[in-house]
Amino acid sequence: MRKRTYVGGVVLGFLALGGGAYGVSRKKVSEEQTAAVVGRQGELDRLMQDPVFREFMPFVDRVVYDEQFDALHAWYQGRAVGEKREQWNEYAKSCAGLLGAGTIAVTEPVDGRYFQGSKAVIFVSRNLFDSPLIATEGDKKAILVHECLDGVVFAKGFFFAPSESACLEALLGRKGISREVYSDVSFVRAMREVAVDYGVQFELNHGAFKPSDSVRAWFEAHAKENRQVLEKYVAGSGERAYLAGAMLRSTQR
């Protein structure tokens, strides 16, 4: 992929396709379910052996099959200490609705430290295997690339084209993004999603794998939606407008 300059920021992110009903269950899984879990973890491990994932391995600690996001729930609860306890508890509570909302995977820094070089853990739900929208192996790889790119961004920060770097350094200095902008969840999420979607499109357009038309169309629609969010910020003023403009210029197709 192209050389980029990285600038820090943070947001919780996930990839979702479709939707459906979901009832929370914490019952002990049956032997058949255990075998299915083992089989699906094995398939994830096999998919991640594709050469397209090599460049992401320095940023990914592991990819975990997490059928109903129980492991993700436990991960959030494990972070719920100190002054951010309430925030992490809210994230843990949100896990109950992720599967039914169509969420396929969630990526987080393995130690909860954003933009400090930490590797990521990718929690993959049963939706990767059960969603009718995911029809091919290429579909699964495209989604896993999206999550790996989340891991890269969570480790290094937002990426920008080298042509933007000097202006960004002049604007941000060594202090990074201001707390006011950092706390604007919709803005930071749009920044991250535009960056990650650009990376996914780069992989798709260079023939690394062949997802189905439905998944390709979803990625294109997702990218368009988030670019429109940033375009609204560009129409404003201040730090958000400048950063949004830099991201959009850096990801022109």
Residues 185-198 have pLDDT tens digits of 888 888 888 988 88
pLDDT for position 234: 94
Query: Pairing mode, if any, of strands 5-7 and 60-65?
Result: unpaired
Low-confidence ranges of the chain (pLDDT < 70): 1-30, 173-176, 206-208, 253
Tokens 């508890």 identify what position?
89
Mean pLDDT for all residues in the chain = 82
Between CA 188 and CA 209 the distance in angstroms is 29
Strands (E), 9-76: 14-16, 60-65
3-state DSSP assignment of residue 6: strand
Nearby residues of 19 by Cβ (< 8 Å), 6 or more positions away: 100, 101, 102
Please report the pLDDT score of residue 93 as a whole number. 92
For residue 102, give the DSSP letter: T
Place of tokens 């006011």: 180
Which pLDDT belongs to residue 168?
A: 78
**pTM, entire model:** 0.80
Of residues 209, 177, 52, 61, the one with CA closest to residue 121: 61
Q: What tens digit of pLDDT does each residue of 143-168 get? A: 999 999 999 988 988 888 888 877 77
* The pLDDT of residue 61: 96
